[in-house]
Amino acid sequence: MPSAPSLGGGDNVTLDADVFEQPFNGPLVHEVVVAELAARRQGTHATKTRGMVSGGGSKPWRQKGTGRARAGTSRSPIWTGGGTVFGPSPRSYVVKVNRKARRAALRSALSVHAERGTIHVLDASAFDEPSTRKAAELLGAHRGGAVLVALGDDELSAAKSFRNLARVNVLHVDDVGVADLVRAQTLVLSQAALDSLTARARKEAKA
């Protein structure tokens, strides 16, 4: 049965084997990570076509007799200040991934952390008020790489304590994705966050 040490001492916390003891599926995790990162893009980039650029309403010069090439508008893409051809336009980058696949990828990422012993459970109630010093002392030797701290509701003091530490990313557990788990070398969870993440990753019961 997998377990996670308690940050700051205390008994180890038993982890759900159905979630934290699953084989790693690399291609599936990659698919979900790409989809998550794509969904985070705003997709608001845009350029003006020749129909959107101001000016150019009249023909610059007559069709014949000037010795110059024919021109119908000064807003042509080949003119300075003209429109852009095939430029980016607002779009959505969302890629659909089935819910079962997302959950399986989440279990894979969590199982890797459990296998490596990089999951730690935090007693968020110990933070009556924000204390960056106390947070740094709790992390101690676990700050060698990127740290992800996932917290639940009503744990604002703990969130404020960790958010100013270097290479520490603090997220609400509902916002934690597979990409965040893959990027982090150490995962710190409050008990509420652990329960929520376990429930989200658990397989659906068959009807």
- State which H helix or E strand residue 14 sits in: strand 13-14
Amino acid at 142: H
For residue 205, the model assigns a pLDDT of 52
Query: Is residue 58's pLDDT more than 70?
Result: yes
- Which domains does the chain possess? 3-23+97-201 (3.40.1370.10)
The pLDDT of residue 207 is above 80: no
For residue 206, pLDDT beyond 80: no
Judge contact between 191 and 155, C-beta under 8 A.
no
- What ranges make up the beta strands (E) of 139-204? 147-151, 168-172, 186-190
pLDDT tens, 119-157? Answer: 999 989 889 999 999 999 988 877 668 999 999 998 999
Query: Left (φ > 0), alpha (ψ -120 to 50) or beta: where does 83 sit?
Result: beta
Amino acid at 165: L
Mean pLDDT of the chain: 91
Mean pLDDT for 170-186 is 95
In this structure, what token pair is assigned to residue 8? 């700051």
Residue-wise pLDDT tens digits, 87-124: 999 999 999 999 999 999 999 999 999 999 999 999 89
Radius of gyration of the chain (CA): 26
